[in-house]
Amino acid sequence: MADQLDPTPYDALLLLSFGGPEGPDDVVPFLENVTAGRGIPRERLKEVGQHYFLFGGVSPINAQNRELLDALRDDFAAGGLDLPVYWGNRNWAPYLTDTLREMSDDGRRRVLVLTTSAYASYSGCRQYRENLADALAVLRSEGRPVPVVDKLRHYFNHPGFVGPMTDAVLAALAALPPGVRDGAHLAFTTHSIPTAAADTSGPAGGPADGGAYVAQHLDAAALVAGAVREATGVERPWRLVYQSRSGAPHIPWLEPDICDHLEAEHAAGAPAVVMVPIGFVSDHMEVKYDLDTEAAAKAADLGLPVARAATVGADPRFAAAVRDLVAERAAAERGEQPARCALGALGASHDVCPAGCCPARVPRAAAAGRD
Ligand SMILES: CC1=C(CCC(=O)O)c2cc3nc(cc4[nH]c(cc5[nH]c(cc1n2)c(C)c5CCC(=O)O)c(CCC(=O)O)c4C)C(CCC(=O)O)=C3C
Ligand SMILES: [Fe+2]
């Protein structure tokens, strides 16, 4: 038996994710949920719908979250953390509001939240906090007890995230033809967001001073690239690039796009590229379509050998990292000074988002932060 870890003051962990369709009839309602009032061009929506229909209308994300839930429950049981784990989504069943209602009815009063986004940004952090505030408001209106919710800190630089990503890059390199392996470049990819959102991400005045989205990705990518160099003895060029852009064309989003980057790498004579989706925690549709389908087709056109690294998914080291972060945060809430495990230049990020962190264009109520 492992030593018991003390989760006090928490009485539950909530896995909070994006959600995805589970059949063809779900696709359009899902996209309506995702884009409610957010002005995504119709053309883009039709295109995104097609991505899902290509895969039978099923996003892999819900199955992946079920696997992660199992991994977390197994890890907590083996690691001596007696804490029930629940799951709710922003855009599809099980919906966050339904899960929080169940948690309230189960008597959960102090809830720690793990989001399936490792980084700061409006979409990856504050929007989930807004979703929590909305759901808690529903419980309040129903006269139910409303639990206090806190959000786990960003985990992009935790060894339990960096380690599996490093092994995934090594596995992808091994999948390349031997002749191009040593020369292969690394393309770390993440979701493009409007540059205006990138420029205000994270806390102003913090270590990345409002540019946390890009700074955190660069930190994580440098850690993985460094660990791959250690393991292979080969120094490889690497770059952070972007994928899955939407929004109106005249609004600037982070660039370069992965497909343009593959073209530039090919033109510059790179013998091969490993695509590393460091911005995501599972191989969901943005990975399966935008990288494995679209970018892979681009590479095939160019005659450029590519391989794609897996995401952390339900890796036991990632589950153990979550256990570590839960124990750390619980100790901090009890007024102790826990060790904070973090690699890289930025250090452990804040426990509680300060006021103004990852601001929304239109201010709205958000839970689990100072504003
Ligand atoms: C930063 C970020 C993450 C990573 C952090 C996190 O994981 O939260 C992420 C994840 C995901 N994004 C996903 C899907 C979509 N994102 C969209 C739209 C957008 N994403 C944005 C940003 C992000 N998105 C933004 C700024 C938009 C446009 C405006 C808006 O609508 O906010 C749209 C609408 C159509 C389109 O524009 O593509 C869809 C369908 C799925 C599910 C995949 C599956 O089903 O397997 C996942 C995990
Ligand atoms: Fe934030």
Spell out the alpha helix ranges (H) of the chain: 27-35, 42-54, 61-79, 96-105, 127-141, 159-175, 178-181, 195-199, 212-232, 258-267, 285, 296-302, 316-333
pLDDT at 23 over 70: yes
User: What pLDDT shows up at residue 41?
Assistant: 85
Nearest ligand 1 atom, CA 281: 7
For residue 182, name the pLDDT band (cuts at 50, 70, 90): very high
Radius of gyration of the chain (CA): 20
Residue 57 Cα to ligand 2 middle (Å): 32
For the domain with range 159-308, which CATH number is right: 3.40.50.10440, 3.40.50.1400, 3.40.190.10, 3.40.50.300?
3.40.50.1400
Q: Residue 63 CA: which ligand is closest?
A: 1
Q: Which uninterrupted H or E stretch holds 14?
A: strand 12-17
pTM of the model: 0.97
Residue 207 Cα to ligand 2 middle (Å): 13
Residue 151 Cα to ligand 1 middle (Å): 20
pLDDT at 1 over 60: no
Q: What is the pLDDT of residues 24-79, one digit of tens each?
A: 999 999 999 999 877 788 888 899 999 999 999 999 999 999 999 999 999 999 99
Q: What is the pLDDT of residues 87-145, one digit of tens each?
A: 999 999 999 999 999 999 999 999 999 999 999 999 999 999 999 999 999 999 999 99
Task: Determine if ligand 1 sits within 6 Å of the CB of residue 284.
Answer: yes
Task: Determine if ligand 1 sits within 6 Å of the CB of residue 123.
Answer: yes
What is the SS3 assignment for 192-260?
Answer: CCEHHHHHCECCCCCCCCCEHHHHHHHHHHHHHHHHHHHHHCCCCCEEEEEECCCCCCCCCECCCEHHH
Ligand 1 mutation pick, 47, 119, 244, max ligand atoms within 8 A of CB: 244
**DSSP conformation letters of 262-279:** HHHHHHTT-S-EEEE-TT
Q: Residue 290 CA: which ligand is closest?
A: 1
Task: Determine if ligand 1 sits within 6 Å of the CB of residue 361.
Answer: no
Written as one letter, the residue type at 137 is A
User: What pLDDT shows up at residue 291?
Assistant: 98
User: What pLDDT shows up at residue 43?
Assistant: 87
Q: What is the pLDDT of residues 327-355, one digit of tens each?
A: 999 999 999 999 999 999 999 999 999 99
Task: Determine if ligand 1 sits within 6 Å of the CB of residue 286.
Answer: yes
Q: What is the pLDDT of residues 224-242, one digit of tens each?
A: 999 999 999 999 999 999 9
308 beta partners: 275
Alpha carbons 111 and 38: distance in angstroms, whole number: 29
Report the binding-site residues for Fe-coproporphyrin III: 59, 128
Hey, how many other C-beta atoms are within 10 angstroms of the C-beta on 187? 29
What are the φ/ψ torsions at residue 331 (nearest 5 degrees)? -60, -45
Residue 24 Cα to ligand 1 middle (Å): 19
Domain boundaries, the chain: 12-155+314-333, 159-308
Task: Determine if ligand 1 sits within 6 Å of the CB of residue 124.
Answer: yes
Task: Determine if ligand 1 sits within 6 Å of the CB of residue 35.
Answer: yes
Q: Which residue has the least CA distance to atom 37 on ligand 1?
A: 246
212-232 and 159-175 helices cross at what angle (nearest 10)? Answer: 60
Share of the chain above pLDDT 90, in %: 94
Task: Determine if ligand 1 sits within 6 Å of the CB of residue 191.
Answer: yes
Report the binding-site residues: 59, 128, 191, 286
Alpha carbons 151 and 135: distance in angstroms, whole number: 15
Nearest ligand 1 atom, CA 279: 4
Mean pLDDT of 148-163: 98
Hey, how many other C-beta atoms are within 10 angstroms of the C-beta on 126? 23
Nearest ligand 1 atom, CA 21: 45
Residue 185 Cα to ligand 2 middle (Å): 31
User: What pLDDT shows up at residue 240?
Assistant: 99
pLDDT at 161 over 90: yes
Q: What is the pLDDT of residues 251-300, one digit of tens each?
A: 999 999 999 999 999 999 999 999 999 999 999 999 999 999 999 999 99
Q: Which residue has the least CA distance to atom 45 on ligand 1?
A: 20
Confirm if 104 and 4 have CB atoms less than 8 A apart. no
User: What pLDDT shows up at residue 127?
Assistant: 98
Residue 371 Cα to ligand 2 middle (Å): 11
For the domain with range 12-155+314-333, which CATH number is right: 3.40.50.300, 1.10.3720.10, 3.40.50.1400, 3.90.25.10?
3.40.50.1400
Let me know if the fold of 12-155+314-333 is the same as that of 159-308. Answer: yes
| ipTM computed for the complex | 0.95
Task: Determine if ligand 1 sits within 6 Å of the CB of residue 117.
Answer: yes
Look-up: residue for tokens 């935008």? 290
